[in-house]
Chains A and B, each alone.
Chain A
């Protein structure tokens, strides 16, 4: 009886439930950060890890592809963390951008962007080749997945890849995004992530808006807009180069 009312309330107020759930996760993460790591690991980094763990649990229970959001009780999480609100919030962070800083690093951001597209592609193609994928279409699709998980299927779709290669390509991109989210705060010192310029270089090279934005959020919130500014061009550039230039090069080499 009580459970039924609770469930109905959560389902009919999806987004509101999501605010409460995420707030609770942030609260717990903050406590873990202070009490268990003495503030060494940022609360937001822990919150993202908990989020990923919940996504795994949700995916296991529902068998769907959208983690916790596939459970009716938490469907609002899908709206809150969906592309619309994510992009809206990213754009809002631009309000804190210092135009001078962004302009100073414009060209190095562009170079990082290009490197961030070509380097992962080469790694992806090489790994695909090493595992016995010798046709240009499969190699290109897996390589494109190493750029971002959106570039992978867009490229694969354009050049006619098989669905298992597509799945592999998406998996590569998702693992990459998760790795960037989790490892950025840990590697922040090594990456020299301190200035707007360094965040723009990072945004270009690491790609994947979700990985970059979450990784920087867990490192230093002030750097988020600079990294995101560059990273948002990453998927566009990848989708542009994947089915064209990069595919032609691979085809010529095979």
Chain B
């Protein structure tokens, strides 16, 4: 059933958020620490486990794949609700600080990725 996949995804999501909150609490903060990342890791491991024991049907899987595919439209909706007006009003300090950090980080990304061995670069994702 397709809902099994979606429910599995939901349980992983909730587990991740709860663990992230507990982690934040343990570190003495009000925020969630890496909850979504933890949820992703849980889902990766659960999928590997279920695949090995062959208990995940293609239909159940599509209950997860749908949400993965709806991801870009969700991001577009997210863009629609950014506080663009305030961002443009922030003036030169905000603009220069933002541009500066993006450029600097971009240079580092480019630098680190250039050190990656070429053999890996040829690999296909599938």
Residues from chain A with a CB closer than 8 A to the CB of B32 are 236
One digit per residue, 1 when the CB lies within 8 angstroms of any chain B CB and 0 when it does not, for chain A 159-193 equals 00000000110111111111111010001001111
B36 within 8 A of A: yes
* Closest B residue by C-beta to A102: B44
* Residues in B lying within 8 Å of A, measured CB to CB: 9-10, 12-13, 16-17, 20, 23-24, 27, 29-37, 39-41, 43-45, 47-48, 61, 64-68, 70-102, 104-106, 108-110, 112-114, 116, 120-121, 123, 125
A154-B85 contact given A91-B13, A179-B102, CB 8 Å threshold: no
The stretch that binds B, out of A5-13, A20-28, A246-254, is A20-28
Residues from chain B with a CB closer than 8 A to the CB of A167 are 86, 90
Partner of A88, one of B9, B89, B93: B9
A73 within 8 A of B: no
Shortest A227–chain B CB gap in Å is 11
A137 within 8 A of B: no
> Are B90's CB and A171's CB within 8 A?
yes
Cross-chain pairs A/B with CB under 8 angstroms, 27 sampled: A51-B77, A52-B84, A58-B81, A59-B84, A67-B84, A68-B80, A87-B35, A90-B36, A92-B68, A93-B71, A95-B68, A97-B44, A108-B112, A124-B101, A143-B97, A146-B100, A170-B86, A171-B94, A178-B87, A191-B109, A192-B110, A194-B121, A198-B116, A205-B106, A210-B78, A214-B79, A228-B37
> Are A213's CB and B75's CB within 8 A?
yes
Question: Which residues of A37-52 have CB atoms within 8 Å of chain B's CB atoms?
Answer: 44, 47-52
A99 within 8 A of B: yes
> Are A236's CB and B82's CB within 8 A?
no
Residues from chain B with a CB closer than 8 A to the CB of A22 are 73, 76-77, 80
> Are A201's CB and B112's CB within 8 A?
yes
Partner of A89, one of B27, B29, B70, B88: B70
Shortest A33–chain B CB gap in Å is 13
Residues from chain A with a CB closer than 8 A to the CB of B30 are 154
* Closest B residue by C-beta to A222: B125
A77 to B23, CA, bound (A): 31
A16 within 8 A of B: no
Partner of B82, one of A52, A90, A224, A235: A52
Shortest B116–chain A CB gap in Å is 6
A181-B79 contact given A112-B112, A228-B36, CB 8 Å threshold: yes
Other than the known A115-B105, A172-B93, A192-B109, what 8 A-B pairs have Cβ atoms closer than 8 Å? Answer: A23-B73, A51-B77, A81-B80, A112-B112, A116-B105, A191-B113, A233-B33, A239-B29
A186 to B9, CA, bound (A): 33
Partner of B113, one of A88, A119, A124, A201: A201
> Are A69's CB and B123's CB within 8 A?
no
A179-B74 contact given A56-B85, A196-B125, CB 8 Å threshold: no
Partner of B86, one of A97, A120, A174, A233: A174
> Are B40's CB and A94's CB within 8 A?
yes
Partner of A131, one of B10, B41, B93, B114: B93
